Structure 1
Amino acid sequence: MSLSATDRRRHLGQLVALGLGAAGPLRAQPGGLEPVRFATNWRAQAAHGGFYQALVDGGYARAGLDVSILQGGPQVNNRPLLPAKRIDFLMSGNLLHSFDNQRNGVPTVVVAAVFQKDPQALIAHPGQGHERFAALKDAPVALIAKDAQYTWWAWLKSRHGFRDEQLRPYTYNLGPFLANKRAIQQGYAVAEPIYVKQQGGFEPVVHLLADHGFSTYSTLIEAHADTVKQRPDTVRRFVEASLAGWRRYLEGDRRAAHARMRADNPELGEAELEASVALIRRLGLVEGGDAPALGLGAMRLERIRDFLAQMVDAGLYRPGEIDATRIAELGFVKPGPVRPPR
């Protein structure tokens, strides 16, 4: 999607503010803090909350880092900035991006996985026979965005028997779903259910793909391979400060983080943010999976291999095309048990 002149100017302003424009990279700041540029893949939201918490409550500064956050959006693609070394770290959606990077020769490495489960979900109307996940393959209409049709929809077909005949395009407008009680739709489990309740006045049925075998990690922290090799202490401090920020965001006073996110994304409301946090905790996105035994942000090679094998079976990659051992560096997450969510 091309950027309008206004969007280009706004994004250029963000880049210049981060030292990514014509002025060149950021220089060391007074006080000895190391400048770090971190980009997200969407507008500020609760799913980014721990990063903002570490920014506003001094967590990054205590780690010796002067962190700037560049938010993404529907017309802002921050992904090319990482291989170009115009940013230091990138928040990416899931391991499919990492597999694609390796296939395309893009030298990035995952250094932590904030979400143990991908929030990608299918939602349905209550009372329409879609309370069981297995019944969704027989829904007459499935509203799925184009990018998903070429990724996890292939997995749904190969693993769970979904059919292309069900497909209708999802344009991030809830109207068609709300108007058709027999339809199912893709959704981000900490967002669309909130919007359905706001706009439709009912609680949708929510089926998290992760609960049915979609085993990718999500909300990944990626770094350039050169950064991992040449600045491992910076990577370690950023990862540890970010994950500590997530703990404080989920368990402590997050009002300042929400204020900063709302400044970056004025469309956010406090009630929406708090509802999203409640869903993050209830679904075990951060504190579930491997986190209770291995710590927040932890990953296991066996699970990366499992997800890769599923994607090969779905036809997204050829056998042997991706080396799972090169996808992530597992040593930056501090091990330790995680308290279960309250």
Structure 2
Amino acid sequence: MKRSALSVLSLLVFLPVGMAQELIPVNFQSKWFPQAQFAGYFVAQDKGFYAEEGLEVTVLDGGNVNPTVAVASGNADFGTDWVANILTQRDQGLEVVILAQVYQTSGYRLVALGNSGIEEIADLAGRRVGVWGFGNEFAAEAVFSAAGFTSNLDPTVTDPDIDAVVYAFDPSLVFPNEVDAASAMTYNELDQIVGLGYELNTLNVLDPASIGADLLEDSIFATPQTLATEDFKGSGLSGREVAERFLRATIRGWEYAIENQEEAVQIVLAHCGDTCAGSGSRQSPLIHQTWQMAEVAKLVRPAPDTQVGALNQEAFERSVALLVDVGLIENAYTWEQVVDPSVYDALQ
């Protein structure tokens, strides 16, 4: 019995951080329903990376939830959102700070049929363009304004250049009969459009970066209050310490997902409902999530030497300048106002 008790004690001593004590509950607000867009978080959860940091992380479904509002209102501790929505909400008085930049490049595109006559963004004048709502319309608005177009998204415009058709994300609802070009993420709706019977070589995929209208997308953020708390949920750890643990495990999750994509897809599928499915010939969740994981990996680590989660001040300031120029935000927020690099830097 003594030997048994000693063995158990030894095991507890050498367990990873947090495993020998009660895990700290952390709520993370995603931007959509479970899919490979968030693979790194699910991998960190299922592989025990969060638990090794002493955290019990719950990934909250997004859907029609505004992530910045959810975190700012205290319904979640950390979240992921596009920089455009983070800043527009800041204009409304909701203050959060960016801790890491998961997507280093933008995956937002506008997709038209190859025979539509729309070969570049300038060709969208006079056309119907599909646009998402719920804080996702900012990407399209930035493209329109950067190209010098007005749209009916601005209620003060009486004769808009572009007829924006707002719909609920699924391209099959509008493309190609109701709109001439549809919004699409490279990792999701583009594959859904392919599944509807339009092969990639029959589509024109317009990249906002071609006119300097690409915006930073999935960032990890928290409130200043969360970071400043001295005793996070009675854990004895400060909010900043918890943020470091959360971020370290999350980065491990993304690195693992990128390097082990087949396994990562299986982990994601275990969390999925119908939202993991594609469309038409690519309806299979396995087929669609395999595409999605491969495309997401390109955004998270666009080059072999890219550091997952790295913050890029130049890219941030360019996004701010664009949002100000096109009138989507009123204030030209500085890096120091919105970004706290100290949490990410503490991991290096």
Instruction: Give the TM-score taking structure 2 as reference length.
Output: 0.76
Equivalent residue, structure 1, for 2:339: 328
Task: Give SS of 2:308's match.
Answer: coil
Equivalent residue, structure 1, for 2:287: 271
2:37 to 47, 68, 77: 47
Distance of 2:145 and 2:27 partners within structure 1? 39
**Contact conserved, 1:123 with 1:187, CA < 8 A, in 2?**
yes
Larger Rg: 2
1:167 to 163, 168, 192: 163
Distance of 1:279 and 1:253 partners within structure 2? 11
Is 2:215 the counterpart of 1:226?
no
Distance of 1:310 and 1:129 partners within structure 2? 27
2:302 to 273, 288, 297: 288
Shift of 1:246: 0.6
Distance of 2:214 and 2:164 partners within structure 1? 25
Distance of 1:39 and 1:211 partners within structure 2? 31
Alignment of 1:75-154 (within 5 A): 76-92=65-81, 94-131=82-119, 133-138=120-125, 140-146=127-133, 151-154=138-141
Distance of 2:50 and 2:133 partners within structure 1? 37
Structure 1 residues 100 and 201: alpha-carbon distance in aligned structure 2, compared to 1, 3 A threshold = closer
**Contact conserved, 1:95 with 1:217, CA < 8 A, in 2?**
yes
| Bigger mean CA offset, 37-46 vs 198-207 | 198-207
Distance of 2:313 and 2:261 partners within structure 1? 34
Distance of 1:43 and 1:257 partners within structure 2? 15
Task: Give SS of 1:275's match.
Answer: helix
Task: Give SS of 1:54's match.
Answer: helix
1:238-283 deviations in whole A, cap 9, x for unaligned?
A: 11111111111111155366345443424421111001112223xx
| Bigger mean CA offset, 96-105 vs 49-58 | 96-105
Give unmatched runs, 5+ long, in structure 2: 1-17, 152-160, 230-238, 277-284
Distance of 1:149 and 1:302 partners within structure 2? 23
Equivalent residue, structure 1, for 2:252: 244
2:330 to 314, 318, 322: 318
Equivalent residue, structure 2, for 1:56: 46
Structure 1 residues 146 and 42: alpha-carbon distance in aligned structure 2, compared to 1, 3 A threshold = closer
Structure 1 residues 207 and 262: alpha-carbon distance in aligned structure 2, compared to 1, 3 A threshold = farther
Shift of 1:313: 1.1
1:177 to 175, 178, 182: 175
RMSD: 2.9
Instruction: Give the TM-score taking structure 1 as reference length.
Output: 0.77
Shift of 1:148: 7.0
Distance of 1:277 and 1:61 partners within structure 2? 24
Letter of the aligned partner of 1:167 in structure 2?
A: D
Distance of 1:208 and 1:61 partners within structure 2? 39
**Contact conserved, 1:51 with 1:242, CA < 8 A, in 2?**
yes
Distance of 1:243 and 1:298 partners within structure 2? 10
Letter of the aligned partner of 1:157 in structure 2?
A: F
Structure 1 residues 87 and 138: alpha-carbon distance in aligned structure 2, compared to 1, 3 A threshold = closer
Distance of 2:268 and 2:259 partners within structure 1? 18
Structure 1 residues 154 and 229: alpha-carbon distance in aligned structure 2, compared to 1, 3 A threshold = same
1:170-217 deviations in whole A, cap 9, x for unaligned?
A: 42342532337x811111221111111111242233223245423432
Equivalent residue, structure 2, for 1:193: 190
Structure 1 residues 297 and 126: alpha-carbon distance in aligned structure 2, compared to 1, 3 A threshold = same
Distance of 2:213 and 2:33 partners within structure 1? 25
Shift of 1:144: 2.2
Shift of 1:302: 3.0
**Contact conserved, 1:102 with 1:327, CA < 8 A, in 2?**
no
Give unmatched runs, 5+ long, in structure 1: 1-27, 338-342
1:301 to 293, 313, 323: 313
Structure 1 residues 260 and 147: alpha-carbon distance in aligned structure 2, compared to 1, 3 A threshold = closer
Shift of 1:90: 1.1
Structure 1 residues 68 and 97: alpha-carbon distance in aligned structure 2, compared to 1, 3 A threshold = same
Letter of the aligned partner of 1:286 in structure 2?
A: V
Structure 1 residues 196 and 40: alpha-carbon distance in aligned structure 2, compared to 1, 3 A threshold = same
Distance of 2:347 and 2:248 partners within structure 1? 12
Equivalent residue, structure 1, for 2:12: none
Aligned positions, number:
301
